[in-house]
Structure 1
Amino acid sequence: MSSSAPLWLWVFFVVSVLGALFVDFVLLRKQGAHEVSVREAVRWSVVWVALSLAFNALLWWAVRDSSGDTALANTRALEFLTGYLIEKSLAVDNIFVFLMIFTYFSVPPAYQKRVLMWGIVGAIVLRTVMILVGSWLIAQFHWVLYLFGAFLLLTGIKMWWAAGQEPDLESNPALKLLRRVLPVSPQFDGERFITRLDGRRIATPLFLVVALVGITDVIFAVDSIPAIFAVTSDPFIVLTSNIFAILGLRAMYFLLAAMAARFHLLSYGLAVVLAFIGTKMMLIDVIKIPVLVSLAAVIGILAVTMVISVRTAPKLPAPKA
């Protein structure tokens, strides 16, 4: 699992993530339960994207400084940007499922921010483990790339056929298991995950929501992490591009939740992206597709899908006089 990033950059990345999470939790505690406005979501989205791009610039400088190779630095920076964009785009499907979970459990908007914060922490831990294991597997067994590629291609085809269909949360096996093994209170108790009922400590519905959000993210990570390995085998770039995309997931959720209807065709675009990346990975030893071409393809597919979505979006009912 060799990486072109120097050790100090690994340390800087870990400290930066921990610092960002600390600031987020401190702000969350000070603000208390409140509904996140679109303006606040836009502001935080800009902050997270700016921080990600700044880290990408630092990565470029660190690789060039340690190797003295500008071309290598350019390649690594493009790999980070492509991986970041892939993870961001695939997170959109995540967000629509989160929205469905919140709607199903009737989670008040004021509590959703706390749920997503803990979901992000769980996602960071689990994805880090998955990426390190995946990097080791690829380093030991090159043919694993073909399996990843075939899996992504099949997932893209499945996503295309399932696009536009409402997921059936009631038949979700994870939800059924959680309800079977956990006693759950019939109503929320503020933002608490655990409450007391008849002298017993039991879970609240908000705890079930956090668990489902975490399980959903792991399921989607099975798709998104192999997709980034199609761009680069450098574990540092796979990890950092993935985590920086996840850090901005909460703001992205509140931003997209307000205009989900306008991007009703986005699942089709994501399906094409997965199929493209899977095909690229399966042909990795036959056709070398440059990183810049992959980046352009992903941007182009998403842009076309979003434009068509906006133009064909169902009209909202006119407000009553």
Structure 2
Amino acid sequence: MPHGALVWELTIALIVGLLLFDYFFHIRVAHVPTLREAAKWSALYVGIALLFGGAVWYLGGTEMGVQYYAGYLTEKALSVDNVFVFLVIMSAFRVPPEDQQKALLIGIVIALLARSLFIWIGAALIERFAWVFYIFGLILLVTAGHMLVPEDERHQEGESFILRLTRKLIRTTPHYDGDKLFTVHEGRRRMTPMVLVIVALGLTDILFALDSIPAIFGITTDTFIVFTATAFSLLGLRQLFFLVEGLLERLLYLSYGLAAILGFIGIKLVLHALHENNVPFINDGAPVKVVEISTLVSLAVIIAILVVTVTLSLHSPKGRAKLAVGRLRRRLAAYMSLEPSASPEERQASFARLLEAEVAVRALPEQWRARIEERQTLREMLADAHERQIAAERPEL
């Protein structure tokens, strides 16, 4: 597949066109996507990415096609970890659900621009310095070890730094004005907290790029494949955000799977660096005879790791328990946040969903209910919710 100017222009036009389509037909009117809507459009973007890979395979040959799919799968798997942090940021800044889509899309555009810059820098370094593969391999091996740290601890430090930095550098109005970035406050034009959210999402994506870009360079050094696999993995990220309610809690062993993938690619990079070695203090600057891992083997290993990770997670009793508790917490929060002006029908529907989640948690074996964090607090909040519903159903005197 030739990488001429026309190919690049058509590819970039397709990506920009998809982003504009996403803006004008989905997020221009603020709303909370339904699960069906998120699933439909998420499947569409995955389908487009797979069809693009088919075109790469047909026009560029088997090797390029395998490189694209291996890179896309790796980046897509890593993007699920991005979504976990996005959820935390949205919660920390208390972004209204109906206004989250615009922040996500702008954050994705920032991520795409930042990663494109990193790709060009990485490609230039690789072309001139073979030892860069050692650095990339080391980064991935360290990241793989970091992935084994419990998820809450792993993200806490980075999230706290980003949240503190954005709040310190940017002064905004105390309240949102829909999904607007600017509003008039006390007679002056000021930025809204939505700007903070977008900056935090952008900074988070830049930090994630430090892991994901070396990972895909471990699969291929073809700049076109690296760029397109990265771009198409990001395009469906907004839909994935609204599709993963409870999914991240259910994918209990995802971090272990990602650690295995990054560790595998890190080893592959180090082996490649040894094969291309010109560092004076390693084998006197001569290449080292080592086994290199082919792209086809890489694709097979990545698929196998993801299948095993998802299968073990979905069949884990602990995963099912975490899913049930997480659903209960979300539905409890939704009920307690209802406005006093909420209609009786809306309040009753929300309480019915809460009862359904509560019954599911009470049906769990005691060994899993005993592990619920802040169990007593959750009990008290549930009791409060029941009292509120009784009061709401009591006829006025």
Q: Secondary structure at the match of 1:257?
A: coil
Residue number in structure 2 paired with 1:231: 219
Residue 6 of structure 1 deviates from its aligned partner by 3.6
Residue number in structure 2 paired with 1:207: 195
Residue 83 of structure 1 deviates from its aligned partner by 0.3
Residues 28-39 of structure 1: matches in 2 within 5 Å? Answer: 28=26, 32-39=29-36
Q: Secondary structure at the match of 1:195?
A: strand
Residue 46 of structure 1 deviates from its aligned partner by 1.3
Whole-angstrom CA distance in 1 between matches of 2:251 and 2:267: 25
Q: Between Structure 1 and Structure 2, whose CA radius of gyration is higher?
A: 2
Q: Secondary structure at the match of 1:319?
A: helix
Whole-angstrom CA distance in 2 between matches of 1:78 and 1:170: 34
Instruction: Label 1:166 to 1:129 Cα distance change in 2 as closer, same or farther (>3 A).
Output: closer
Residue number in structure 2 paired with 1:51: 48
Residues 138-217 of structure 1: matches in 2 within 5 Å? Answer: 138-165=126-153, 167-168=155-156, 172-217=160-205
Indicate conservation of the 8 Å contact 1:98/1:213, yes or no: yes
1:305 aligns with 2:293: no
Whole-angstrom CA distance in 1 between matches of 2:239 and 2:120: 27
Residue number in structure 2 paired with 1:69: none
Whole-angstrom CA distance in 1 between matches of 2:178 and 2:33: 17
Q: Secondary structure at the match of 2:184?
A: strand
Indicate conservation of the 8 Å contact 1:81/1:241, yes or no: yes
Residue number in structure 2 paired with 1:41: 38
Residue 265 of structure 1 deviates from its aligned partner by 2.2
Instruction: Label 1:214 to 1:140 Cα distance change in 2 as closer, same or farther (>3 A).
Output: same
Residue number in structure 2 paired with 1:104: 92
Residue number in structure 2 paired with 1:66: none
Q: Which amino acid aligns with 1:307?
A: T
Whole-angstrom CA distance in 1 between matches of 2:246 and 2:182: 30
Of the three residues 246, 257, 272, the one matched with 2:245 is 257
Residue 273 of structure 1 deviates from its aligned partner by 1.1
Whole-angstrom CA distance in 1 between matches of 2:152 and 2:175: 31
Instruction: Label 1:303 to 1:216 Cα distance change in 2 as closer, same or farther (>3 A).
Output: same
Which whole-Å deviations, capped at 9, do the CAs of 1:276-306 have from their partners, x for residues lacking one?
Answer: 1111111112221111111111111122111
Whole-angstrom CA distance in 1 between matches of 2:262 and 2:158: 27
Residue 202 of structure 1 deviates from its aligned partner by 2.4
- Which TM-score applies when normalising by structure 2? 0.74
Whole-angstrom CA distance in 1 between matches of 2:167 and 2:131: 40
Of the three residues 79, 88, 102, the one matched with 1:91 is 79
Which whole-Å deviations, capped at 9, do the CAs of 1:222-251 have from their partners, x for residues lacking one?
Answer: 100111111111100000110011111111
Of the three residues 184, 197, 221, the one matched with 2:209 is 221
Which deviates more from structure 2 when the two are superposed, residues 308-317 or residues 296-305? 308-317
Which whole-Å deviations, capped at 9, do the CAs of 1:91-141 have from their partners, x for residues lacking one?
Answer: 111000001111122212111111111011111111111101110110010
Which whole-Å deviations, capped at 9, do the CAs of 1:29-55 have from their partners, x for residues lacking one?
Answer: 55x111011111111111111111211
Q: Which amino acid aligns with 1:178?
A: T
Indicate conservation of the 8 Å contact 1:175/1:212, yes or no: yes
Residues 1-150 of structure 1: matches in 2 within 5 Å? Answer: 4-28=2-26, 32-63=29-60, 73-150=61-138
Whole-angstrom CA distance in 2 between matches of 1:204 and 1:49: 33
Unaligned runs of 5+ in 2: 276-289, 326-355, 360-397
Instruction: Label 1:134 to 1:171 Cα distance change in 2 as closer, same or farther (>3 A).
Output: closer
Instruction: Label 1:171 to 1:213 Cα distance change in 2 as closer, same or farther (>3 A).
Output: closer
Whole-angstrom CA distance in 2 between matches of 1:288 and 1:170: 35
Identity of aligned residues (%): 39
The number of equivalent residue pairs is 309
Indicate conservation of the 8 Å contact 1:227/1:274, yes or no: yes
Q: Which amino acid aligns with 1:308?
A: L
Whole-angstrom CA distance in 1 between matches of 2:158 and 2:46: 35
Q: Which has the higher contact order (CA 8 A, sep 6+)?
A: 1
Whole-angstrom CA distance in 2 between matches of 1:278 and 1:101: 29
- Which TM-score applies when normalising by structure 1? 0.91
Whole-angstrom CA distance in 2 between matches of 1:255 and 1:120: 16
Whole-angstrom CA distance in 2 between matches of 1:301 and 1:320: 34
Residue number in structure 2 paired with 1:319: 357
Instruction: Label 1:133 to 1:194 Cα distance change in 2 as closer, same or farther (>3 A).
Output: same
Instruction: Label 1:92 to 1:189 Cα distance change in 2 as closer, same or farther (>3 A).
Output: same
